Amino acid sequence: MEKKEKSVGVNFVDIQMIQIIKMKKKKNKITKHHIVPTSRKEKNLEDNLDYVPRKQHQLYHHLFSNRTPDEIIDYLVQDFWAGQKKWVDRYQEKYR
- Running DSSP on this structure, what letter comes out for residue 29? -
Q: What is the pLDDT of residues 12-36, one digit of tens each?
A: 667 766 666 666 666 668 899 999 9
Residue type, 37: P
Number of H helices, E strands in the chain: 4, 2
Burial of 67 (0-12, 13-18, 19+ CB in 10 A): middle
pTM over 0.75: no
Kindly report, residue by residue over 51-94, the tens digit of the pLDDT.
999 889 999 999 999 999 999 999 999 999 999 999 999 999 99
Q: Report the pLDDT value the prediction gives residue 36, as an integer from 0 to 100.
A: 92
